[in-house]
Amino acid sequence: MSHNLGDRIELRGLSAVGHHGVFDHERRDGQTFVVDLVLSVDLEPAAVSGDLTQTVHYGELAEEVHAIITGDPVDLIETLALRIVNVCLGHEPVRWVSVTVHKPEAPIEVAFTDVTVTMERSKL
């Protein structure tokens, strides 16, 4: 008998233009945001049955996350991450989620590669 030690679905590099930020030019002009998701899901029921309803339809989830990125502006990427966490946990099979929001075009006056915020939450 096998034991599930942490099946995962990962969706990385989902990008879209959003109008989030505290500065007027961020709200006006928009910028690219990139999201990485790691979902803890027991994949065995879907693997055995071949039934998509037993897992997370990552195509639909990607569309939901895209809609959040392109949706109502927020000041902080922390708020954006929390909105995405809540959508992910709304999918029944998801037990735990890690959401990382990247803001590679953040208005920082020195050289940098990326700014990220990561939130992890579980249903337990």
Which residues have a catalytic role annotated?
103
CB-based contact 65:35 (threshold 8 Å): yes
Element (H, E) at 122: strand 116-122
CA separation for the pair 64, 46 (Å, rounded):
22
